[in-house]
Structure 1
Amino acid sequence: MGVSAAVADPITLDDFVDADPAQARIGQLLFYDKILSGNRNISCGTCHHHDHAGGDGLSLGIGEGGIGLGPDRQIGDIRKRVPRNAPALWNLGHISVDVMFHDGRLEVSDQFGNGFDSPAEEWLPEGLDNIVAAQALFPLTAQFEMAGNPGENDIAGATHDRIDAAWPILAARVRANETYANMFVEAFENVDEPLEISIVEIGNALGAFITTEWQSYDSPYDAWLTGTPLPDDAERGRALFFGEARCASCHSGPLFTDQDFHALGLPAFGPGRTRTFDKMPRDVGRMGETDLLSDAYRFRTPSLRNVALTAPYGHNGAYPTLRHMIRHHSDPVTARAAWTPELAALPHAPRFGGVDFAIQQDRFEMARQSAVLDINPVMLTEAEITDIEAFLHALTGATAHTRPMGRPDAVPSGLPVD
């Protein structure tokens, strides 16, 4: 492939799944309504906020029980940090997207007869419109994200019985609200009365909002695809990206992701994504889903659309800037050795001091992680890093900060909107 080659065709509206505007309006309200959380104190929008380009600006999220918003959010009375960085929402409704979450634990699949291979397996209900609608249901069942802790509320208790047990309770909450009930009856052809509102309609409404609200394909790069030149530094960066720097070997296609899983050798920290039989504060990535040793420490390639707006970077938000992340790709061994905890955006939490960086004291685990690396380093000069960074900024949509619907001022539950 020549250095001038582009690997992506232009994106158009036809490349996205269909969504009903009335359903998207319900989804917008539910997205910011804390009625969907166990303790009614956090919404989807808390960690995927419009003010932060669909993220939260933290390395590791502060979920249920936290106080505040974005990089200023404080730990409150949370029991632990969310173990991974809040992923961006841009272009999730693109028809090419068939796998989600950092470890790919949600995929389009016929394995369980409901259209998806998911943590809910055969208990995921049928009728979800697309993978985005399915994805929207899982933060609602996550203890440290939105469900809360056992003993605190009926959602948390039900979730610990079985992953799908809380969804009917949440649906009952929503349909008990007259405003929501009327909106669902009006927007969904299969809903004739409030009692027919289920978690499926709630997921489809959230999916309709996410798939329409976070579309973005009007960047300088998109203009370049149709003949408008890039600035000189971004053009040099583009040539490097698709050429000698080999960035496009993984960040390919219209969304700049191969939707595959790779080990980048990022610095390890945080509570880890522990499992019933593995309580170590580590994150084994894709292996946590497949149980295949060959998938250990590999994570899904993120899309780079609007990447300049979605710091910090990596599955655990290890790096605060694009420049840091490009340097890591150029020389991961040196970058990992030079990494310091100060680079992580972790709001102060003295009681987590013994957990946040504990895994780095385990020399055997550090050796295991260091031994797995899928990057073929390409040594870059500082000038070349600057040019690649300029190209990544050229992936920012002209209207990225102007979303069609935005954040609502109020929601039907009457709960405060973050």
Structure 2
Amino acid sequence: MPRLHQIAGLFNFGEDWPGHQQKRKSNAKHLIFLLFFATPLWADRITADDFPAINPDQAKLGQLLFYDKILSGNRNISCGTCHHHDHHGTDGLSLGIGEGGAGVGPDRAPGTGADAIRKRIPRNAPALWNLAHKDVRVMFHDGRLSISDIYQNGFNSPAEEWLPQGLDNLLVAQALFPLTAQFEMAGNSKENDVAGAIHDRIDAAWPIIAKRVRVIPEYGDMFVAAFDHIDSPDQVAIVEVGNALGAFIGSEWQSYDSPYDDWLTGTPLPDAAERGRQLFFGRAGCASCHSGPLFTDQDFYALGLPAFGPGRTRRFDPYARDVGRMGESDALEDAYRFRTPSLRNVALTAPYGHNGAYPTLESMIRHHADPVGSRAAWRPEMAALPDVPWLSEIDFVIQSDTREMARQSTALDITPIALTDAEVDDLVAFLNALTGKTAEARPLGRPDSVPSGLPVD
């Protein structure tokens, strides 16, 4: 039976839905195909077969490493600090507080004295849900990590040809990069051997981290037990560390048991969620970008979000701005475009946007409906930013640059669509119907302790 709601969402007959005229032209070429051979409903279902087989010993090892601060340069932050179970794999902040801070989530403090942070994390901590899904082909807000053999190691990444061979998948490759990021986990130059090595070359740091781990007897024994090709701890390299992290993240954050998944097999949604579903796939046009079983086309769009924070600056950027995809592609047409996020469990992972500009689903939907008006009405207090007095002058300085603000406001891939308050509420109800029934009951969770003996956040 044809997917009529998807066809309506793609073509939006009678509506000039948000931008993407080029996409609609491409879709039109396949209209006849869709009408006669449209995908059945079950194609949008996610099953266990959509994920790689996970070795449980590797996943358990990865759980400990995920929460162990031994992986950070100064041994003071873990992956779990910014992707914590208490916050459903994120940190609840617009822009995180990385290396040097203390605590978790909205209560995380920026540190004091020599440990005081020098910069906020430039972008919102992305959610981890379903990142091991076989269809995921690009990661990070700007897509700087993707599947490719351009460097003959399986990936196009910031490490280029220095990314090691043997990484199991894209998720594993992603897990290695926060370890080498100065303000996330590595620390500042001259503070530790990891940060110092990174200044020589990115791959110089990974052997140091791997050695820190493998010389801990409990970790050494676990690696030997979990990996068939490891006969003794001294054989453990960053590849095994990464593969263990990937096994944990890939299995821990799978979620496909939402009310929407039940709807795909014939169970009706609540009335408000059903109205929202019809809007989502129909007149509101949300499914034009948030498509497929993961609710993302993995493409890049400029949404005109309010700008703030230090920005993910390039070497030659004169001020705190974030040009998004252009930073990876160097193509001017990619300026201020960011990757479409998955909407699975989105109700659990506020705030929203590449910089966490909006605190609620309602406010993010209203921005999509009226990006210019919402941007003008946005206020700094809407951002979840723990107080850092020595960074306060930087937090919103970009908004005083009228020329940069003009450039960002004109780079917009969405156009307004009229939504009533009731329709916004219905869309929120549908997005809540994407929350897995077991989303808060993860298989392994947060460990009470880790083999290094360092404290667990």
TM-score (norm 1): 0.99
| Large movers: runs of 4+ above 2 Å | 1-8
Letter in 1 for 2:106: P
| Aligned 8 A contact 1:141 1:159 in 2 | yes
> Aligned with 2:191: secondary structure?
coil
> Aligned with 2:384: secondary structure?
coil
Aligned counterpart, 1:30: 65
Aligned counterpart, 1:417: 456
| Aligned 8 A contact 2:42 2:265 in 1 | no
Letter in 2 for 1:42: I
CA distance in 2: counterparts of 1:256 and 1:166, whole angstroms: 36
| Aligned 8 A contact 2:6 2:287 in 1 | no
CA distance in 1: counterparts of 2:139 and 2:425, whole angstroms: 30
Question: Can you list the C-alpha shifts for 1:336-387, whole angstroms capped at 9, x where unaligned?
Answer: 0000000000001111111000000000000000111011321101000000
Question: Can you list the C-alpha shifts for 1:201-255, whole angstroms capped at 9, x where unaligned?
Answer: 0000000000000000000000000000000000000000000000000000000
Letter in 1 for 2:331: L
Aligned counterpart, 2:363: 324
* 2:121 maps to 1:66: no
Map 1:293-312 onto structure 2 (within 5 A): 293-312=332-351
CA distance in 1: counterparts of 2:414 and 2:53, whole angstroms: 37
Aligned counterpart for 1:104 among listed residues 115, 119, 143: 143
Map 1:365-376 onto structure 2 (within 5 A): 365-376=404-415
CA distance in 1: counterparts of 2:419 and 2:390, whole angstroms: 40
CA distance in 1: counterparts of 2:225 and 2:47, whole angstroms: 29
CA distance in 1: counterparts of 2:229 and 2:301, whole angstroms: 42
Map 1:254-269 onto structure 2 (within 5 A): 254-269=293-308
CA distance in 1: counterparts of 2:359 and 2:185, whole angstroms: 26
CA distance in 2: counterparts of 1:378 and 1:195, whole angstroms: 60
| Aligned 8 A contact 2:371 2:415 in 1 | no
Displacement after TM superposition at 1:279 (Å): 3.5
CA distance in 1: counterparts of 2:215 and 2:350, whole angstroms: 38
Aligned counterpart, 2:52: 17
Letter in 2 for 1:332: P
CA distance in 2: counterparts of 1:141 and 1:9, whole angstroms: 36
TM-score (norm 2): 0.90
CA distance in 1: counterparts of 2:278 and 2:4, whole angstroms: 9
Map 1:161-240 onto structure 2 (within 5 A): 161-240=200-279
| Aligned 8 A contact 2:312 2:322 in 1 | yes
* 2:75 maps to 1:40: yes
Displacement after TM superposition at 1:277 (Å): 1.3
Name which one, 1 or 2, has greater alpha-carbon Rg: 2
| Aligned 8 A contact 1:28 1:405 in 2 | yes
CA RMSD of aligned residues (A): 1.1
Displacement after TM superposition at 1:74 (Å): 1.2
CA distance in 2: counterparts of 1:161 and 1:293, whole angstroms: 30
| Aligned 8 A contact 1:8 1:252 in 2 | no
| Aligned 8 A contact 2:190 2:196 in 1 | yes
Displacement after TM superposition at 1:189 (Å): 1.1
CA distance in 1: counterparts of 2:392 and 2:70, whole angstroms: 32
Displacement after TM superposition at 1:103 (Å): 0.4
CA distance in 2: counterparts of 1:319 and 1:7, whole angstroms: 33
* 2:129 maps to 1:95: no
Aligned counterpart for 2:165 among listed residues 106, 115, 126: 126
CA distance in 2: counterparts of 1:222 and 1:210, whole angstroms: 22
CA distance in 1: counterparts of 2:414 and 2:303, whole angstroms: 6
CA distance in 1: counterparts of 2:319 and 2:4, whole angstroms: 45
How many residues are paired up?
418
Aligned counterpart, 1:354: 393
> Aligned with 2:176: secondary structure?
coil
Query: Unpaired segments of 5 or more residues in structure 2?
Result: 8-40
Q: Evaluate the alpha carbon distance shift between residue 409 and residue 135 of structure 1 in structure 2; reply closer, same or farther with a 3 A threshold.
A: same
Query: Unpaired segments of 5 or more residues in structure 1?
Result: none
Aligned counterpart for 2:440 among listed residues 401, 404, 410: 401
CA distance in 1: counterparts of 2:304 and 2:262, whole angstroms: 34
Displacement after TM superposition at 1:195 (Å): 1.3
Q: Percent identity?
A: 74
